[in-house]
Structure 1
């Protein structure tokens, strides 16, 4: 169903199954890039 992690996480985010905090963790673990985080959420990725 999903070609890659970005597609999967984007779908989960749209469904409300993944939240911003969870996606930030995926960036920290280098599963997705900060740019991909922004594309999925519409929010700028800021290091915390």
Structure 2
């Protein structure tokens, strides 16, 4: 897990970020698709 994972997960868990906001971090290279799935519980799809 990268240094952003915990921060983004906390934001998501606190309802500050939506799944779409988390998804936007994957193409930027901030999260991997596996990290997206770990945070949201949803399969990553484009």
- CA separation in 1, counterparts of 2:19 and 2:36? 9
Q: What TM-score comes out, normalization by structure 1 length?
A: 0.87
- CA separation in 2, counterparts of 1:42 and 1:20? 9
Structure 2 unaligned segments of length 5 or more: list them.
Answer: none
Instruction: Report how many aligned residue pairs link the two structures.
Output: 45
Larger Rg: 1
Structure 1 unaligned segments of length 5 or more: list them.
Answer: none
SS at match of 1:28: coil
CA RMSD of aligned residues (A): 1.2
